[in-house]
Structure 1
Amino acid sequence: MARRLTLWIVIGMFAGIALGAGLHQALPADSKTLATTADLLKLLPEVFLRLIKMIIAPLILATLVTGIAAMGDSSALGRIGGRALGWFVCASLISITLGLVLVNLFQPGHGLHFTAAAPVGTLSTADFTFRHFVMEIVPTSVIDAMAQNNVLQILVFALFAGVALSALGETGAPLVRGAEALVAMMLTMTGYVMRAAPLAVFGALASVIATRGLGILVTYGAFVAEFYGGLALFWLLLFSVASLFLGRRAWLLARYVREPLLLAYSTASSESALPRLFEALDRFGVPRRISGFVLPLGYSFNLDGSMMYTSFATMFIAQAYGIPLSAGQQVAMLLTLMITSKGIAGVPRASLVVIAATLTQFGLPIEGIALLLGVDTFLDMGRTATNVVGNAVATAVITHWEGMLQVPLDPDAPIPMPPHDTPEHGRRGLHLDPGA
């Protein structure tokens, strides 16, 4: 299904380019007919964006509540969880900061000169103080936060709710199962919404090229190349840091995870690669006791490629609309992305949800996402593969910290049962289902 959707998105992209180029050549630039046609085509991505915004609040709330509640309360769980979250925070800061540095260095959106359909909010031009940031985080009502799609406040509530449900144990189990069901429902709805992506891509590219010509594709090409260059730099940095803990074995990890990596890249879904990633880490010497907890946690809290993309894409949109952001405002955006990205789901094109939330939070033109839809498929493939690599490296390093990294098997060897787990280091310690 994912590959078929990607194919249709590519078809929609080329069809939109062809239609837009034809309209640009056939009609004068100041033609009313051209403006009307472009506006009608723009309706397709606008409807798609409304559907994306519809799933933001429940998706983030349910994902975080279930992820935090699943941590449990044992000392081993707390130690491993603390180390994992510490690594995730550091990796998040590095990936988002690297994205901000590169997008400011390359300026891919400079010179596009788009005009926002609605007035730009005050957060994009006014000082964003620490007091304002803190007050915006603390909710007065979770219902109001859900109604306003205030992601930061939803996240704070989800943190308290997840910790409380973890403390309640069996008493809170029905609510945890309800949150898990809500996650499943929202992922299914996301699948429905993404079926409209080819039409949105078609309309977005046709509308933009009809009014601005094929020259804008040069900017798209530069944007894609610069982003992939940033991902390559992050991979190099990630494995270099891992080698400080694992030595030469850190570089061998890429060989072990090549199959789930290719699966994630081709489907643009890190969820599709999860079963194979468990098997690859089994062969690498990671007990399921560790991977069964760290990987699901990482799928909600450690999406390095997606987080770099959110900073890169958000600044690209600000540049395209000629909205200057000071260094202080960009730092505030970095902190916001650090928090909002923790609720992102490991499904195709889910980063658009976080970008939409961040644009809304900072008063930037949300219609700017339409600029990304045409190339988002190719960007999603790269950032999804990076998410898988980031979680594989994190799991291996944390296993080393716990002193539980075992002798590796051949990368293509069959998996023994139970994999790399002894009575001392078996699955009994955490009681987590690695496939959950």
Structure 2
Amino acid sequence: MAHLSADTSAATPGKKGFLGIGFTGWIIISMIAGILVGWLAPDFAPNLKPFANIFLRMIKSLIVPLLFSTLVVGIAGHGDDMKKVGKLALRSIIYFEVVTTLALAIGLIAVNVVKPGVGLSISAAADSEEFKALAAKTPTFGSVLEHTVPQSFFEAAAQNEVLQIVFFAIIFAVALAKVEGPSKKFMLDWLQSLSDIMFKFVGIVMTYAPIGIGAAIGVTVGKSGLDVMINLAKLVGTLYVSLIIFVVVVLLPIAMLAKLDLKRFWALVKEPWLIAFTTASSEAAFPQAMQAMEKFGVPRRIVSFVLPTGYSFNLDGSTLYLAIASVFVAQAAGIDMPIGTQLLMMLTLMLTSKGVAAVPRASLVILSGALAQFGLPLEGIAIILGVDAIMDMARTSVNLLGNCLATAVMARWEGVLETPKDGADVVVPA
């Protein structure tokens, strides 16, 4: 179990793909085609939605078996020292909290400097009841803790509840590590075989990715239109620039402090990053991200623990977005919020956003709850909805980038990061 192959040739399309164009090239072509279709034929664009949904459904179908098998093998295969798991969990949580706090700070500073909401006026929306319903769904700290524990593994698997699957897999792996004899060997061999098969499954699904991605972005542009983005360009621009600043000021120094090979890191992460950006779905990029980090030299036991956990606790892009969007609504409503109130709102967002992965329309739910709690008009969400899909692409891709970096940093912190040459096997320390 000490040597896990990092061969991703079956899962990552080769550099010389169809018509001599590589995988990244086809994604870019599909993006351009989708934008053109959405812009020039907005009435036709909704017909592309089934093609986008097929891609997302295929991705969702493989997440649970891939995640469960790799995480259990990663922990139980090295179960001689369970302290490693606890130490990794503690370090990961500390890292997640520090980085997401910095994301909130950058978002808060940006929205107060640029003031994208000033000059806009909020009028009562006819469907404001919908926003009140969203606010009512906001999770509490207790509900997030309770939701982490599955009452049924099969129910959690059917709903793709990643955090619940991680919780169950960790306990299952610890129990398996305590078993001796043929039962343990059989289960580990079976799960390792399942993991190997699922990585090949990813390769098959990824051949369809450009079609699904092109369809997804075509639907987004056709629905939102370019005019809406122009009208709220200041808000969208504030988010995009803030995310770039976050990457340069926070993520880049962290990568440099960890002494990561930045060129190699980006070369491996750019494809899952593009998938996350174009589909606005972290799940769509999850399998590719796992393979990229394993190829980068991160042991599978760390990849399969840190990456999915980060999807719930390390949403850098989403937390930065929430900081900007919440104060934006106050500005658009002409409400003067003292800095003390803003900081209290940021603390609330930091806590409630930890349940973001478990809630449909997650960011809007968290935002609605924060607005309701601080007496801000829920109708402000009606303004944001016009460009939310465009902003979702940016925040989701930064979530993905931040979690990939967290995975590599944890491996470095644990002293187990290897950086083999392309095509070489990754040696995973026991």
TM-score (norm 2): 0.62
Q: Equivalent residue for 2:304? A: 292
Residues 239 and 251 of structure 1 are in contact (CA less than 8 Å); yes or no, is this contact kept in structure 2? no
- Aligned length in residues: 308
The answer to which of 267-276 and 373-382 deviates more is 373-382
1:101 is aligned, of 109, 128, 137, to 109
Q: Equivalent residue for 1:192? A: none
Could you tell me how far apart the structure 1 residues matched to 2:399 and 2:286 are?
11
Residues 103 and 320 of structure 2 are in contact (CA less than 8 Å); yes or no, is this contact kept in structure 1? yes
Q: 1:98 to 1:179 in 2, by over 3 A?
A: same
Q: 1:405 to 1:264 in 2, by over 3 A?
A: same
Q: Equivalent residue for 1:156? A: 142
Asked if residue 88 in structure 1 is aligned to residue 88 in structure 2, the reply is: no
Q: Equivalent residue for 1:380? A: 392
For residues 179-204 of structure 1, what are the alpha-carbon distances to aligned partners after superposition, in whole Å with 9 as ceiling and x for unaligned?
4545559xxxxxxxxx9xx79x96x9
Q: Equivalent residue for 2:349? A: 337
Residues 269 and 347 of structure 1 are in contact (CA less than 8 Å); yes or no, is this contact kept in structure 2? no
Q: Equivalent residue for 1:403? A: 415
Structure 2 letter corresponding to 1:156: G
Could you tell me how far apart the structure 2 residues matched to 1:223 and 1:337 are?
19
Q: 1:220 to 1:346 in 2, by over 3 A?
A: farther
Asked if residue 254 in structure 1 is aligned to residue 266 in structure 2, the reply is: yes
Q: Equivalent residue for 1:29? A: none
Residues 144 and 354 of structure 2 are in contact (CA less than 8 Å); yes or no, is this contact kept in structure 1? no
SS at match of 1:344: helix
Could you tell me how far apart the structure 1 residues matched to 2:331 and 2:410 are?
39
For residues 69-106 of structure 1, what are the alpha-carbon distances to aligned partners after superposition, in whole Å with 9 as ceiling and x for unaligned?
x9999422221111111111011101111101100000
2:83 is aligned, of 75, 81, 84, to 75
Shift of 1:251: 5.3
Residues 285 and 405 of structure 1 are in contact (CA less than 8 Å); yes or no, is this contact kept in structure 2? yes
Q: Equivalent residue for 1:35? A: none
1:412-431 matches, cutoff 5 A: 413=423, 416=425, 419-422=426-429, 424=430
Could you tell me how far apart the structure 2 residues matched to 1:184 and 1:9 are?
34
Residues 38 and 225 of structure 2 are in contact (CA less than 8 Å); yes or no, is this contact kept in structure 1? no
1:114-125 matches, cutoff 5 A: 114-116=122-124
1:213-292 matches, cutoff 5 A: 219-247=231-259, 249-250=261-262, 252-292=264-304
SS at match of 1:278: helix
Structure 2 letter corresponding to 1:149: A
Asked if residue 317 in structure 1 is aligned to residue 333 in structure 2, the reply is: no
Structure 2 letter corresponding to 1:101: I
Could you tell me how far apart the structure 2 residues matched to 1:8 and 1:252 are?
32
Structure 2 letter corresponding to 1:375: V
SS at match of 1:97: helix
Could you tell me how far apart the structure 2 residues matched to 1:293 and 1:228 are?
29
Could you tell me how far apart the structure 2 residues matched to 1:113 and 1:147 are?
22
SS at match of 1:151: coil
Could you tell me how far apart the structure 2 residues matched to 1:340 and 1:13 are?
39
1:389 is aligned, of 401, 417, 420, to 401
Residues 268 and 348 of structure 1 are in contact (CA less than 8 Å); yes or no, is this contact kept in structure 2? no
Could you tell me how far apart the structure 1 residues matched to 2:298 and 2:83 are?
20
Shift of 1:353: 2.4
Residues 287 and 421 of structure 1 are in contact (CA less than 8 Å); yes or no, is this contact kept in structure 2? yes
SS at match of 1:366: coil
RMSD: 4.0
Could you tell me how far apart the structure 1 residues matched to 2:245 and 2:358 are?
22
Q: Equivalent residue for 1:139? A: none
Residues 322 and 363 of structure 2 are in contact (CA less than 8 Å); yes or no, is this contact kept in structure 1? yes
Shift of 1:241: 2.6
Q: 1:388 to 1:347 in 2, by over 3 A?
A: farther
Residues 243 and 251 of structure 1 are in contact (CA less than 8 Å); yes or no, is this contact kept in structure 2? no
Q: Equivalent residue for 2:194? A: none
* Runs of 5+ unmatched residues, structure 1: 16-65, 121-145, 166-172, 186-194, 207-213, 425-436
For residues 272-307 of structure 1, what are the alpha-carbon distances to aligned partners after superposition, in whole Å with 9 as ceiling and x for unaligned?
011111111111110111000000100111111111
For residues 146-166 of structure 1, what are the alpha-carbon distances to aligned partners after superposition, in whole Å with 9 as ceiling and x for unaligned?
99836353x32432574xx5x
Residues 239 and 393 of structure 1 are in contact (CA less than 8 Å); yes or no, is this contact kept in structure 2? yes
For residues 315-341 of structure 1, what are the alpha-carbon distances to aligned partners after superposition, in whole Å with 9 as ceiling and x for unaligned?
111111112211111111101110111
Q: 1:329 to 1:183 in 2, by over 3 A?
A: farther
Structure 2 letter corresponding to 1:247: K
Q: Equivalent residue for 2:369? A: 357
SS at match of 2:357: coil
Shift of 1:13: 11
Shift of 1:114: 2.1
For residues 372-393 of structure 1, what are the alpha-carbon distances to aligned partners after superposition, in whole Å with 9 as ceiling and x for unaligned?
1222222111111101110011
Shift of 1:256: 1.7
1:189-204 matches, cutoff 5 A: none
Could you tell me how far apart the structure 2 residues matched to 1:83 and 1:248 are?
18
Q: Equivalent residue for 2:118? A: 110
Could you tell me how far apart the structure 1 residues matched to 2:386 and 2:151 are?
42
Asked if residue 308 in structure 1 is aligned to residue 320 in structure 2, the reply is: yes
% identical equivalent positions:
37
Residues 255 and 405 of structure 2 are in contact (CA less than 8 Å); yes or no, is this contact kept in structure 1? no
Q: 1:284 to 1:326 in 2, by over 3 A?
A: same
